[in-house]
């Protein structure tokens, strides 16, 4: 087993991942640093022999020479393989040793030494240090494992997981047959019938599944693929791009068509779909013979979702191509609120105003992409207050017309149907809540601490930019006859700008944009002479915490009151929520971004609390609770954490985080210190992927602390302690954590 693990490790280091991965802009990302540059990197999951590889810096998609390559943390893989890893900061080299094999990687070099021999990583993708949440890790290309090494690579689209598996070694000395290419069939048909012989496996047992026929019909314009199998078949899926394909591998199944004429000379079956805008061809072959696997390939025109079920009445596996809603999010376009819906074939939609403060959007013939859960969000925007998303579960009895995604947008002010302007482009449905977007300029957030303002000119011209004394007013002078600016006063009021006021010079020849910026904002310009457009880049140096996202979890809620104090009858859920709301206010005032798992008295499942934090890619998870015990003399602050130091696959520094929270909460509250408690079975601590703690603010069953927890002042202090702890953790992390492989 260890030898096979070493083989996996070697392949990871020496080969480039060539497995196709579709990348869209709405996939989960992390804000990281590579080559001293801040970048946003798409993340993916990775399993090795069906075990998830957990790391404080997750596997990422790294764009190299205009292609996305999967990079993984070498320490996590080496640990799984039983190898030792050493880091030399002076030479920027990682040395991996296992048995009689030594591998030396050099950061930013595509040359790797294996037992002293130089090898070039394919496509010359070098090892990189990726820094995330102040942790620098050595990342290497994940291998596309060739069949000649006996290793298999798969891609699970639903969970965005690269799956590496190591098959068990053969027990006999039977020579291995020649391996096929990715879509090449195996097996030899009976020459007289075109069938693939008697459906028996290598041990003489009958194959359970048989693919007997393939038909494609249409529901409207949408294809339905029907695979005649006479029984329900276990299957695996993959998605390929360039060109777009959906792959279905029917396990323990033999290709045995009822009509031998449908089997072509190359031993494949090919069915041309009726005219539609989704699917061109369905192809099938006997992909493997031991075990028997039939591969079905759908050649698509664009990325499309699917739902597969078994029709008992007809004995068919039925693949329905359905439209996916991949993401629903809030954006701003030129300071105005916009709802963006992303997915496939979004043409069939309906807007409906429910009164003047609620918009409902129905995306028809669509389902939510199961691999991309969409969390309900409270926005607090200029117009959009919150967004909720729901969809039907596609079961065997639903027709395409019954599938629908419903999006509810609660508004902060009255909006009429005439105010709403809709655009469709590049797989997006863009709903402008404040009328048709203005032209002539573009203001956009380019990062958590950066933004860009562009004034579009009609031709080439010279511009002037001057920063007034005091630094919070920038004057931009532009030729009047070259510009068409649609506003006199633009109230921006974000973290960069206060407002922009347009005036005209005394001679009428120039427009002057008076840009009032927030404290700490710096401006940079591109070329100002003989250019068509004027571009201003803004950076707020005072917003060092805005890149950090904190998830605040108010424990219990709804039907779960938590502990109830014996004298004042305080419900723990109410105490938790009040402290959480105040902590959010204080954290946002300090510059952090904050998401709350609940903002009212509702029940939220434990898995959902951890799940939304993972989905959002949070930097810190804080669950707020009040304690209770059978003994009334127990008192003080308690901090719970998952013992990541005992799990070699969990690289979080939870204990260090817990120590900081315990110390700061005790100091801020003037309370006793009960204990720091390692708990390995609590869902919100175990399942979260970022550093996480549960803070118990005091005992509701202790008379003194019950009285304190019932006061607004103590609750405010508890919220302040959470803020103090959070700031101290991020400040201390800059020096506590050092780069390691």
Q: Could you tell me the CATH number of the domain that includes residue 692?
A: 3.40.630.40
**Does 565 share its domain with 618?**
yes
- Residue pair 412/385 in contact by the 8 Å Cβ criterion: yes
Active-site annotation holds for 152: no
- Residue pair 683/606 in contact by the 8 Å Cβ criterion: yes
Which of 67-81, 92-106, 313-327, 474-488 has the lowest average pLDDT? 67-81
**Does 629 share its domain with 667?**
yes
- Residue pair 582/719 in contact by the 8 Å Cβ criterion: yes
User: How many C-alpha atoms does 463 have within 13 Å on its Cβ side?
Assistant: 26
Q: Could you tell me the CATH number of the domain that includes residue 487?
A: 2.60.40
* Tokens encoding 312: 């008992």
Query: Which pLDDT value is given to residue 137?
Result: 80
User: How many C-alpha atoms does 550 have within 13 Å on its Cβ side?
Assistant: 29
**Does 43 share its domain with 160?**
yes
- Catalytic one of 342, 582, 638, 696: 696
Query: Which pLDDT value is given to residue 172?
Result: 41
**Does 534 share its domain with 418?**
no
Q: Which letter, b or e, does each residue of 539-575 get, where b requires 16 or more Cβ atoms within 10 Å of its Cβ?
A: bbeebebbbbbbbbbbbbbeeeebbebeeeebbbbbb
Residue 193 included in any domain: no
- Three-state DSSP class for residue 377: strand
Q: Could you tell me the CATH number of the domain that includes residue 389?
A: 2.60.40.3500
- With a cut of 80, say whether residue 362 has pLDDT above it: yes
**Does 296 share its domain with 328?**
no
Domain residue limits at 379: 323-432
Domain end position, chosen among 303, 335, 352: 303
- Could you give the CA distance from residue 141 to residue 137 in angstroms, rounded to a whole number? 13
- With a cut of 90, say whether residue 10 has pLDDT above it: no
Query: Nearest-CA neighbor of 321 among 339, 338, 303, 337?
Result: 303
435-458, pLDDT tens digit by residue?
Answer: 999 999 999 988 888 999 999 999
Higher-pLDDT residue of 174, 423: 423
C-beta atoms surrounding 301 within 10 Å: 12
What average pLDDT does the structure give for the chain?
82
Which residues, in sequence order, are CB contacts of 16 under 8 Å at separation 6+? 69, 121, 122, 123, 125, 141, 143, 144
Domain end position, chosen among 242, 272, 303: 303
Query: Nearest-CA neighbor of 242 among 18, 40, 64?
Result: 18
**Does 576 share its domain with 705?**
yes
* Tokens encoding 430: 């863009």
Q: Stretch 408-419: mean pLDDT, rounded? A: 92
231-244, pLDDT tens digit by residue?
Answer: 999 998 887 777 88
**Does 584 share its domain with 710?**
yes
Query: Nearest-CA neighbor of 309 among 227, 370, 217, 208?
Result: 227
**Does 663 share its domain with 581?**
yes
**Does 251 share its domain with 392?**
no
- Could you give the CA distance from residue 330 to residue 339 in angstroms, rounded to a whole number? 5
The total number of structural domains that make up the chain: 5
Q: Stretch 262-270: mean pLDDT, rounded? A: 90
In which band, very low, low, confident or very high, does the pLDDT at 155 lie, cut at 50, 70 and 90? Answer: low
Q: pTM above the 0.75 mark?
A: no
Residue 619 included in any domain: yes
Query: Which pLDDT value is given to residue 67?
Result: 58
**Does 621 share its domain with 582?**
yes
- With a cut of 90, say whether residue 53 has pLDDT above it: no
Q: Stretch 675-682: mean pLDDT, rounded? A: 94
Q: Where are the alpha helices (DSSP H) in 56-181?
A: 74-81
Higher-pLDDT residue of 545, 99: 545
Q: Stretch 369-395: mean pLDDT, rounded? A: 83
């Amino acid at each position: 087993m260890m030898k096979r693990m070493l083989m996996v490790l070697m392949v990871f280091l020496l080969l480039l991942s060539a497995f196709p991965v579709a990348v869209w802009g709405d996939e989960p990302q992390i804000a990281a640093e590579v080559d001293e540059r801040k970048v946003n990197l798409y993340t993916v999951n990775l399993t090795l022999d069906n075990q998830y590889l957990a790391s404080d810096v997750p596997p990422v998609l790294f764009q190299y020479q205009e292609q996305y390559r999967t990079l993984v943390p070498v320490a996590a893989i080496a640990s799984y393989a039983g190898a030792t890893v050493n880091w030399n900061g002076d030479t920027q080299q990682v040395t991996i040793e296992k048995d009689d094999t030594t591998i030396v990687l050099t950061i930013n070099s595509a040359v790797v030494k294996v037992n002293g021999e130089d090898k070039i990583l394919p496509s010359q993708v070098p090892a990189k240090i990726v820094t995330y949440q102040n942790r620098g890790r050595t990342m290497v290309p994940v291998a596309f494992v060739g069949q000649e090494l006996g290793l298999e690579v798969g891609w699970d689209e639903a969970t965005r997981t690269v799956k590496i598996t190591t098959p068990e070694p053969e027990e006999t000395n039977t020579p291995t047959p020649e391996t096929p290419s990715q879509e090449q069939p195996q097996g030899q048909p009976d020459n007289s019938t075109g069938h693939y012989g008697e459906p028996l496996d290598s041990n003489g047992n009958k194959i359970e599944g048989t693919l007997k026929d393939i038909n494609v019909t249409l529901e409207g314009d949408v294809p339905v693929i029907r695979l005649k199998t006479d029984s329900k078949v276990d299957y695996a899926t993959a998605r390929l791009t360039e060109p777009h394909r959906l792959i279905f591998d029917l396990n323990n199944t033999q290709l045995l068509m009822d009509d031998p004429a449908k089997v072509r000379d190359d031993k494949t079956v090919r069915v041309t779909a009726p005219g539609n805008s989704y699917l061109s061809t369905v192809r099938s072959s006997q992909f493997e013979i031991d075990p028997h696997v039939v591969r079905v390939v759908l050649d698509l025109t664009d990325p499309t979702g699917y739902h597969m079920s078994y029709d008992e009445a007809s004995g068919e596996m039925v693949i329905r191509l359905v439209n996916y809603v991949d993401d629903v999010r809030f954006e701003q376009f030129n300071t105005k609120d916009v709802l963006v819906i992303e997915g496939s074939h979004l043409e069939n939609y309906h807007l409906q105003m429910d009164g003047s403060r609620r918009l409902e959007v129905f995306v028809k013939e669509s389902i939510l992409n199961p691999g991309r859960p969409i969390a309900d969000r409270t926005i607090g925007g200029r117009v959009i207050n919150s967004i909720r998303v729901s969809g039907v579960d596609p079961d065997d009895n639903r027709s395409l017309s019954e599938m629908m995604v419903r999006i509810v947008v609660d508004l902060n002010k009255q909006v009429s149907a005439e105010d709403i302007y809709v655009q469709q482009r590049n797989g997006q449905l863009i709903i402008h809540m404040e009328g048709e977007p203005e032209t002539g300029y573009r203001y956009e957030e380019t990062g958590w601490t950066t933004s860009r303002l562009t004034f579009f000119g009609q031709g080439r011209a010279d511009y002037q930019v001057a920063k007034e004394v005091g630094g919070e007013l920038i004057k931009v002078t532009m030729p009047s006859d070259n510009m068409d600016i649609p506003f006199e006063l633009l109230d921006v009021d974000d973290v960069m700008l206060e407002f922009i006021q347009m005036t005209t010079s005394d001679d009428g020849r120039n427009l002057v944009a008076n840009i009032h910026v927030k404290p700490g904002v710096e401006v940079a310009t591109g070329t100002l002479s003989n250019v068509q457009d004027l571009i201003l880049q803004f950076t707020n140096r005072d917003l060092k915490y805005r890149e950090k996202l904190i998830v605040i979890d108010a424990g219990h809620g709804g039907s779960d009151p938590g502990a109830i104090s014996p004298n004042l009858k305080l419900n723990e859920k109410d105490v938790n929520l009040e402290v959480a709301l105040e902590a959010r206010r204080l954290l946002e005032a300090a510059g952090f971004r904050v998401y709350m798992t609940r903002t009212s008295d509702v029940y939220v499942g434990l898995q959902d609390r951890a799940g939304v934090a993972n989905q959002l890619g949070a930097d810190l998870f804080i669950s707020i609770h009040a304690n209770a015990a059978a003994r009334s003399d127990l008192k003080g602050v308690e901090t719970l954490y998952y013992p990541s130091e005992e799990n070699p696959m969990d690289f979080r520094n939870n204990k260090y985080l817990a120590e900081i929270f315990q110390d700061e909460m005790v100091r801020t509250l003037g309370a006793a210190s009960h204990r720091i408690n390692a708990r390995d079975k609590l869902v919100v601590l175990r399942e979260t992927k970022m550093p996480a703690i549960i803070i118990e603010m005091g005992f509701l069953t202790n008379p003194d602390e019950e009285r304190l927890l019932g006061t607004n002042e103590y609750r405010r202090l508890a919220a302040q302690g959470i803020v103090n702890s959070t700031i101290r953790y991020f400040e201390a992390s800059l020096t506590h954590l050092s780069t390691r492989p």
